[in-house]
Amino acid sequence: MKNSSKAKTLVLDANVWIYGLLGTSRDAMDLISRCLKGECKVVVNSYVVAEVTRVLKRVAIEIRRDPLELERSFWRILNSDNVVKDFIHPITDDLINMMRRRPEILMIAQILEIEPKDVPYLILAFKCDVPVVTTDERSLARKRKRIKELIGVEVLTLKEIVW
């Protein structure tokens, strides 16, 4: 799934989705809006969806918003033509813990010097040959050079997306 068409194809980390859905980041909202307009495509898998829905539920309760409303908004976006779904596993909370404990995930995290929670995003980006967009300056963005050298995946922050 090389970025050969006019529309960029990206993998968004959970925080990009969360900030965009909650409206707490103009850049995240803009990126999701561009996806809905067809200016870019986004690839998701079971892990991404499970992580985003889990965080949405938790945050919605903290900020006193309806978790089902936020989850429905997320699914409306996911069902757009510009979201490529790569679902292999059922979408469950157990999937998140299972993925983060897998030996190969732990090994990749150790080699790349990142948190295991970020590895599934890199695997999806590697599989689809597309960049990962993150808000996380502490982990993925900080290790972007190492990630690019070792596995060839480009890591971008929201501010670095150029249209």
Alpha-helical segments (H) within 38-143: 46-62, 67-78, 93-101, 103-112, 119-128
Q: Are 114 and 150 in contact (CB under 8 A)?
A: no
User: d(Cα 97, Cα 101) in Å, to the nearest integer?
Assistant: 6
Residue 1 has pLDDT above 60, yes or no: no
Calculate the average pLDDT of the chain. Answer: 90
**Over residues 92-121, mean pLDDT:** 90
CATH architecture of the region 8-160: 3-Layer(aba) Sandwich (3.40)
Which tens digits make up the pLDDT trace of 8-42?
A: 999 999 999 999 999 999 999 999 999 999 999 99
pLDDT value for 98: 84
Write phi, then psi, for 42 (nearest 5 degrees): -125, 135
**Over residues 84-97, mean pLDDT:** 81
Range in 75-89, 91-105, 112-126 with the lowest mean pLDDT: 91-105
Q: Burial, 86: exposed, middle or buried (Cβ in 10 Å; 0-12, 13-18, 19+)?
A: middle
User: d(Cα 113, Cα 104) in Å, to the nearest integer?
Assistant: 14
pTM tops 0.95: no
Which tens digits make up the pLDDT trace of 44-67?
A: 999 999 999 999 999 999 999 998
- Return the DSSP state at 45: E
pLDDT tier at 4, thresholds 50, 70, 90: very low
Contacts of residue 107, Cβ cutoff 8 Å, sequence gap at least 6:
none
- Number of residues that make up the chain: 163
pLDDT value for 69: 92
